[in-house]
Structure 1
Amino acid sequence: MRKIYYLKTCSTCQRILKSLPNLDTFELQDIKTEPMTVKQVDEMAKMAGSYEVLFSKRATLYKEMGLKDEKLTEADFKRYILEHYTFLSRPVIITDGKIFVGNSPKTVQAAIEFLSK
């Protein structure tokens, strides 16, 4: 499976997508217009090692809802990701049994290098 979960309206996601080689071989899912399913989020968490890895603590709602002051469990991370797309650390790139989560320069570079092989 070659899939990218992203936000079409996010300039950072757009910039990263443009930098990826062989983008045309991926299925793209705009998580705002096509919400993620429980199965999809479960599969991502299994590959990433936890729901917390998928969770964006930089999301505006994270601070607005006071979540930064709470002790969140894996079940909480999963629930929030499923409730609102903004809680997914984007983009999530899945290819050849490997997952790359988020937009840190290190993660993006690792994805580009992996896809360039």
Structure 2
Amino acid sequence: MRVYGLKTCDTCRKALKSLEGSDFIDVRAQGVPDAVLAQALKRFGEALLNTRSTTWRGLDAEQRKKEPLELLQEHPTLMKRPLVEKDGALYLGWTAETQAALGVG
């Protein structure tokens, strides 16, 4: 299982605590593989973009018009977190639904 997020994100830390033994990928330092981003975008659509983030607010209107995949490749911190990959399935956020699907919580 892989958890994509930020090491400074409280929600990501909570997820990691519950998902012992998972691999953590800090998207700021390591990025997200293009194949994973494409799969996540197909599954979650624009919900994958965190439009309430500081990074989003720092973008100008022209940058915000870019395709979501391009934006996430350029600014991986725009991704809602955490993104959990388990057995080829993806889960977004640390909601009760995600926790139930992963058998934790």
Matches within 5 A, 1:1-117: 2-18=1-17, 20=18, 22-24=19-21, 26-46=22-42, 48-50=43-45, 52-67=46-61, 72=65, 76-103=67-94, 108-116=95-103
Q: TM-score, normalised by structure 1?
A: 0.72
State the distance in 2 between where 1:45 and 1:65 align: 20
Once the 2 structures are TM-superposed, how far is the Cα of residue 80 of structure 1 from its aligned partner? 0.9
Q: Which runs of 4+ in 1 moved over 4 A?
A: none
State the distance in 2 between where 1:77 and 1:65 align: 13
> Cα RMSD between the aligned structures?
2.2
Deviations 1:90-114 (A, max 9, x none): 10012234322124xxxx2112212
Letter aligned with residue 16 of structure 1? A
Gaps of 5+ in 2: none
CA change 1:11–1:49 in 2 (3 A) is closer
Once the 2 structures are TM-superposed, how far is the Cα of residue 62 of structure 1 from its aligned partner? 1.5
